[in-house]
Amino acid sequence: MKIKILLTALLCSVVGFAQSVNDYRAVIVPLRYDFIKTDNQYRLATLTKSNLLKGGFEAYYTNEQLPDGLTDRCQVLYIDVKKDNAFLVTKLFIELKDCYGQVVYTSEVGKSKEKEYEVAYKEALDNAFKSIYGLHYKYSGKSVVPSRTVVAQKNTAETLAAATVAPAAAAVKVAQTNPVAATVSPDLKDPNLLYAQPTESGYQLIDKTPKVVMKLLKTSQANVYIAIKDNVQGSLILKEDGQWYFESYQNDKLVSEKIVVKF
C-alpha cells in the first residue's frame, strides 16, 4: 500500500513539471509553413508575428538576431500553423512547441469561408489566435524544464511502477533508458555552441547568428543521427564520454569532429 502511494506521488510530481506558455519569454516564427510554397506567402509569417505581438508575446523571425537574454533556445517557444483540409472551408490551427518539438499548447481551429487564399488564410489565422489571446499571456520568469528531462522522469516513474508487478521486465526497461540522458551539459558561453531546432525529420543545428550549420535526420537509435554539414554527409553520434561527434569520410579517411550542441 505504501509503495502505491509513493508511486502515485512520484507520477504526480512528473505531471507537475508541465510547462505553461507563460514560462517562455518569446516565440520564434518560421518564414514558411508546410502548406505554403514560398517564404511569407500570403503574408502568413507577418500576420503570425503581428498577432503574437498583439497577444503580448515577444516574437522573432527565424532569421532575426535574438537579444542577448535569449541565448538559450529552450527558453523560447516555436510556433507552427497547421492546415486542416476541409471542403469549401479554410481551417487553420496553431501549435506552440518547445525546443524539443513537444507541443505546449494547441489553439482552437480558426475557420474562413472566403474563396481567395490571402483573405481566407488571414481570417482563419486571426480566428485561431482568439484562443491564444484568451490565455492572457504574461511571462512568469520561471525556469523551463526541458521536455527530455520530463520524459526521462516520467519513464523512471513508469519503470518503478512496473517493478512492483514484474521486476524482471522492469530491469529490462531500465537498461533501455534513453541514452540521450547521459549527454554532458554544454557550456552556454562556448562560441562554437549550436542549438538544436526541431524539424519534421529530426533537427537543424543553428549558431547564434542564427545560421543553419548542420541538418540531422532521425535514425532508429536515439544517440545516432544522419548528419549533413557543408554538403558532407556523415553521422552525429553520442559517445560514452557524453559528447556528440560528427563523423564522416574525407579522402577515404574517417574524420571525427566534436560538436557542442544543446538539444
Give all domains of the chain, ordered by start, each with its CATH number.
2-16+145-177 (no CATH), 21-133 (3.40.50), 182-262 (no CATH)
Q: What is the pLDDT of residue 102?
A: 87
Q: What is the pLDDT of residue 135?
A: 93
Q: How far is CA 62 from CA 44, 196, 212, in A?
A: 14, 13, 10
Q: What is the pLDDT of residue 147?
A: 52
Q: What is the pLDDT of residue 120?
A: 96
pTM (2 decimals)?
A: 0.55
**CA-CA distance, 60 to 76, in Å (whole number)?**
10
Q: What is the pLDDT of residue 13?
A: 40
Q: What is the pLDDT of residue 145?
A: 60
Residues with Cβ within 8 Å of residue 226, at least 6 apart in sequence: 202, 216, 217, 219, 233, 235, 236
Q: What is the pLDDT of residue 182?
A: 58
Q: What is the mean pLDDT of each run of 10 residues along the chain (263 residues)?
A: 46 49 93 93 96 96 85 88 91 92 92 95 97 94 62 49 47 40 74 87 86 89 90 89 90 90 87
Q: What is the pLDDT of residue 162?
A: 52
Tell me, what amino acid is at 138? Answer: K
Q: What is the pLDDT of residue 78?
A: 95
Q: What is the pLDDT of residue 225?
A: 93
Half-sphere exposure of 32 (CA within 13 A, CB side): 7
Reduce the DSSP state of residue 41 to 3 states and report it.
helix
Q: How far is CA 27 from CA 38, 176, 231, in A?
A: 21, 34, 30
